Each structure stands twice: as structure tokens, then as C-alpha cells.
Chain A
Amino acid sequence: MRPLTIGRLFLQCAILAAILFCVMVLALKFGAIHVSLYGLGRDLLRVFLGKSTEISSEYSLIVLNIRLPRILLGAIVGASLSVAGTSFQALLRNPLADPYVLGVSSGAALGAILALLIEPHLALTPEIASVFTPLGGFLGATVAIAAVYFLGRRDGRIDSNTLLLGGVITASLLYAVIILLLTVLPSSNVRGMAYWLMGELSNLPSKPLAWVLRAGFLAATAVIYTTASDLNLLLSGEKEAMHLGVDVHRVRLIVYIAASALTGIAVAVSGSIGYVGLLVPHVMRMIFGSDHRILIPASAFGGAIAVVIADTIARTIAAPADLPVGAITAIAGAPLFIYLLRRRLA
């Protein structure tokens, strides 16, 4: 493999960014309401030139206020899940590691449901109430990942297999609790939960939440990227990395927290969009190799592209009804995963 140079890194990222841009423009075109590519180009140009007042109200409302925020949300959610997946896979040296396998999504879902149940009993202003459920999801994700982390510790060290098994067990336990809650409790508050559990992007996040999401994604990804070289050395084994001067415990802790934050943020706003964190890192590793200095940004772009495409399908295939995007990623992801698995075995 050729050594990674700054030039190659930027070139490959630029190519991926260009693909993401094209996918987003196409995603802007397709939707329940028809928009012509010409009108779209004209209006986007106006936005870039700062002349957004010249855009007709219909376009600005539907394309800029509904479709664009949803596409950006999908891109950030996809990038977050994918970077989290890459990190977990490197950290645990296990290609099956994924935010969902580790029980984070179930934790987030439970947290969000509990928040929904508590919310009516607190006198919150609408501004705070709109961030309350996602906040519950985020806390749930963090608690779940901490629990799995301690389950996975053996003699003060993390054992990858125990951790993965602990994650699987935690996930199924939390799901059982969720099902129990949904059956036992008065249903008016948890109605959309079944839908949310499948993963969806149809609700517009509030302004403060959207900013938390963007800032959180950038910060957590940056933190993970600072450990990219260490993650490369970790691939050859924990002891080997330690001999090469990597502070394994520190790297593990940092990446674990940052990746959990990424997952928590993504799940809190979009529910359980599966397979992105598992599959996209695999595909990116096949294309770009397993050097994390390129793999992390490539996964971010790849995850964004995958979720934006999946959500465009979810928005249009049964229009005007909105399908949960998680169903699309699972339908596309499961067969693809099996194919990759068999190819690797062969």
C-alpha cells in the first residue's frame, strides 16, 4: 500500500465531499413536492450569493426549511454513526462491533421513552421540552455504554469478547424493558415510539438541538481523529501497541467516550438507524485501506452519503407517506453485510 500523504488525504476527502454534495443536491430535488433541477440550481445560487429574499416562498419553505434541514440532519446522523462504528471496530479489534450491537441504541431509546413519560409532570417551557426527549436519549445511551463498559472489564482490563457479549445482552434486556413499558403504560405519549425505534428523520429538530448536534459531531470526531495513529498501532494488538509507546488505556477511554457521544447524539434525534455504523466502515476499509487517518474522514463522508440516499428513498418511495429510514437501511444493509461476509470467507 502506498504511504498516506497529506495530498492524497485531501484529494480523497475532496472526491468524497464532491460525491456527498451531488447526492445532497439530488436529494434536494426528490421529494413529495416536485422541484425542477433548474429552479433548484437557481435558488441555491441565490442562497450562496446572499440573495435568499429573491426565492419564492414555496421553495424557501419546502426546499430550504423542510428538505434541506432534513438532509443535513441525515448527513450528520450518518457520519456520526459511521465514525462511531469505525472507532468501536478499531477499539475492540472486532469487525462486528457497532453502536447498536453494543446496546447503545436500546439505552438511548429507553432514555427517550422515560423522558417522554416524565416530561408532562414537569412544567417545562416548550423550548426546553423540545430538547427533553433527545436529552433523555443521549443520557440513556451514555448510561448503557458505561454499563456495557463495566460489564466488559475483567481484572481491570477490557476483554473484547466479553464486552461484545455484554453489549448484546444489555441490548436485549433494554429492548425487553422498552416493550414492557410500551405495553403497560398509558399509550398516548409513546405512540410514535414504535416508529422512532425503527429510525426516522421526519421530525425537524429544534434550532438549539441542531447546533448541539453539529458542534458535538465536529468535536467528537476531532477528538477521535487525534488518536488515529494510535488506533492504527492498536490494530496490530494491544501489547504491541503498548510496546510502541501507545498509552492504550488513555486512547481507549477517549475514543470510547467520544464514540458514545456520537452515537448518543445520533440516536437521540433519529432513533435506531441500523447497519450504518456496521457496514459503512467495512466498505470504506475495502476502498481506502485500514489506515485510520483516512478511514475516519472517509467513514464520515460514506455514512453521510449512505443515510442521505436511504432517507431520500424513505421520503419518496411511498410518498406522501414518510417511511422510517431505519427500515430502508436494514433492508439494504442486511443482504449487503451477508454478501461482504461470504466474500471475505471465500
Chain B
Amino acid sequence: MKISVPISFIRSAALAAFLFVAPCVAQSHAEQTAAAPAKTASFLTVQDETGRSVRIPLPVRRIVSLAPSMTESIYALGMDNLLVGDTDYCDYPPAAMTKHKVGGAINPSLEEIAALKPDVVLLTKGLNRLETVQSLERLGIAAYATDPHTIDEIRSSVRRLAEVLGNPAAGDALNNKLLQQESSLQRTLRNIPLTRALFVVWTEPLISVGKHTFIADALLQAGAISIVESTQDWPQMSLEEMVRLQPDVLVFASSHSEAVTRDMEALAKRPGWSELNAVKQRKFAVVSDAVNRPAPRLLAAVEDLARQLHPEAFADKVASYKLAALRDRN
């Protein structure tokens, strides 16, 4: 299903034509002509995940990412040699920090982006602004946006991205790897009852995640269900309601588990929080902050969380492996 919009097509085609013809006219500037992209033979018209139709020049040689999750996806696909720019917040893998920075995800510099002459700019609806997409469109720069809400959608989204960028093989390989990871985790957790969890984004005030977020889905995949029923993405919750619902466990996203242990002690002394059984019994899990980004790395974070929440399931697995190994030896 492709929506065709003649006017914008003609306009972007004209702009694109101008962008590619102009350097050839300006022959006197040798250095700029050298830096200009080569003439593009063809275009791929695709619909991105927000339903916009995007015209991407082929082959894609230069990519700018405006979201940390998109940067991670590009690295996971092994296409980072095409990545020419990313945002100040793109810090994983560490090599992403050395890429040319174009500002923040909310307030990137259009000038910096344009100067990098990208074939396509990658965005995600969950983080970037519509206005940025529109501004890029007006400059004739292809802007492709994703919008995954579940782990499955993250997988299919990355696969589709690889296809759009002209590397379907890498997408299939990554998809299969993630699918394996996912199904093996599901097998392990098959008979495990779901833990009722409260995902804590912020403690003062208490901010959690809504049920339509990929984080809620990540919890589910890790054998936990978020007790927050909100349709908002980042709802502010009342502590009274949490005391009534009594989560089995609190889940924090952090790269420093010692800091969370300290926070937990502080929470135990705070009114309201101290009424939560999970706080009284210090029942909490710390998941890598990769859980905050809809990127392939999320699955590893999910598995890590599952191990913390349901050690018994993994213990069985280890035990049965050992048993099998013993049997083999005998």
C-alpha cells in the first residue's frame, strides 16, 4: 500500500535534481565537486513506519542517524561504515561517539546534517520531532522514520531498515539471530508465572511506562507484567495506587547497580515507598539502560532481566545441561 503524492514528489524530485546538477555546473570549485555525491541512477520509494512515503536514492552511501536506537541498529547491521553523522546522545557502541555530531535528537542542526550530504536520515517517532522530518523533506533530504512498539516490531523494523538501505542479507541475519535469542528465552520461561513488576523511570515523582511502550513488552518477554495500565508513554503514577496494587518487584534501568542499591535504601525510608512490600523486602532488579532504546541490544537486556526475575528457570536449564553433560560422560 503506497500513498502517492504527486506535488511533493515533483518538488523533491526537482530539489534532488537541483542538488545533483548544481555541483556539476559549479565545475570551477574542484574541492566541492569532489565532495559532492556522485550522480544517482535510481530511487527507491518506500513507506516508512509512520506512513510517510520516502524517496531514497540508491545505492545508499551516506547515512545520518538522529536517534541512539537507530545508531545502534546501524552498528548491529554492520553498516556503520556508511554512518557519517549521529547525535550527541549516540554513545553505544563506543565507536558511535567518534562519529560526526549533529546536535541532539530534539534540536539537531539542519546545517550540520545538510553539510554531511546524507542519502538518508534515520529517525524514530518515539524520540524525534515531526518538525525535523518536515524540515528535512523541504530540503530534499530523505528522512526515514521507524516506530516500533514491541520486541517483535523492533526485529521487523531493523530487518526492513536493512532492506531499505540495500542490505537485506544483513537484516535477515540479524533478524534470525534475534529470533533465536527470543524463542530460546521464551522456551526457558514457558511455564513460569508472570511477576507483577513496577518499572521505575523516575522516583520523584514516580514515573513509569505505559502499556503500549516497547519497555512494557520487554518486561513481558522477561516474564514480568507491568502493573501500570496507562495508555500514556511515560505516565506519572500515584504512590497510593502502587501501594494498593503492591508490585512483586521494582525494575530500574541503570548502568550502575550499586547506585540503585543505595537508592533502594533511601526509598525504604521515604513515606509511601516504605509501604511497598517490594521495597520492604528489597526486591528489585536492575536492567541495563539498553532497555530504554528500541534497538537490537534490547533483547540481551531482556534476557539479563529474566535471569534476575526468574533465576529458578535458568537454574533448571543449567542443571539439566549439567545432567546431560554427566550422562554423556557416563
**Which residues of A pack against B, CB within 8 Å?**
31-33, 53-58, 60-62, 65-67, 125-127, 130, 183-189, 191-192, 195, 200, 202-204, 206-207, 315, 319-324
Q: A53-B22, A320-B112 are in contact. Are A203 and B131 (CB under 8 A)?
A: yes
Cα(A125)–Cα(B109), bound, Å: 27
Q: A188-B125, A206-B138, A320-B102 are in contact. Are A33 and B7 (CB under 8 A)?
A: no
Q: Which of B26, B28, B115 contacts A62 (CB 8 A)?
A: B115
Q: Which of B8, B29, B125, B139 contacts A65 (CB 8 A)?
A: B139
B139 touches A126 (CB 8 A): no
B103 touches A130 (CB 8 A): no
- Chain A contacts for B19, CB-based, 8 A: 57, 61
Apart from A65-B139, A186-B233, A192-B131, 16 more pairs, CB < 8 Å: A32-B115, A56-B26, A57-B36, A58-B35, A61-B139, A126-B5, A126-B137, A188-B125, A191-B127, A192-B129, A206-B134, A319-B103, A320-B103, A321-B107, A322-B103, A322-B107
- Chain B contacts for A66, CB-based, 8 A: 110-111, 114, 139
How many cross-chain pairs have Cβ atoms below 8 Å apart between A and B? 123
- Chain B 115-152, CB-CB to A under 8 Å as 1, else 0, gives 10000000001111111101101110000000000000
Q: Which of B7, B125, B139, B210 contacts A204 (CB 8 A)?
A: B139
A34 to nearest B CB, angstroms? 10
Cα(A31)–Cα(B236), bound, Å: 39
- Most chain B Cβ neighbours within 10 Å, of A33, A184, A321: A321
Q: Which 7 A-B pairs have the closest CB atoms?
A: A192-B129, A320-B109, A203-B131, A320-B103, A321-B103, A57-B22, A56-B32
B110 touches A202 (CB 8 A): yes
Q: Which of B32, B128, B234 contacts A58 (CB 8 A)?
A: B32
**Which residues of B pack against A, CB within 8 Å?**
5, 7-8, 19, 22-23, 25-26, 28-29, 32, 35-36, 52, 88, 101-104, 106-112, 114-115, 125-132, 134-135, 137-139, 210, 212, 231-234, 236
Residue in B closest to A116 when the chains form the complex, CB atoms: B130
B32 to nearest A CB, angstroms? 4
- Chain A contacts for B35, CB-based, 8 A: 58
- Chain A contacts for B231, CB-based, 8 A: 186
Residue in A closest to B22 when the chains form the complex, CB atoms: A57
B234 to nearest A CB, angstroms? 6
A192 touches B130 (CB 8 A): yes
Residue in A closest to B7 when the chains form the complex, CB atoms: A127
Q: Which of B7, B25, B107, B233 contacts A188 (CB 8 A)?
A: B233
- Chain A contacts for B8, CB-based, 8 A: 126-127
Q: A56-B26, A56-B32 are in contact. Are A202 and B107 (CB under 8 A)?
A: yes
B114 touches A321 (CB 8 A): no
A187 touches B232 (CB 8 A): yes
A32 touches B111 (CB 8 A): yes
B126 touches A188 (CB 8 A): yes
A186 touches B134 (CB 8 A): no
- Chain A contacts for B236, CB-based, 8 A: 183
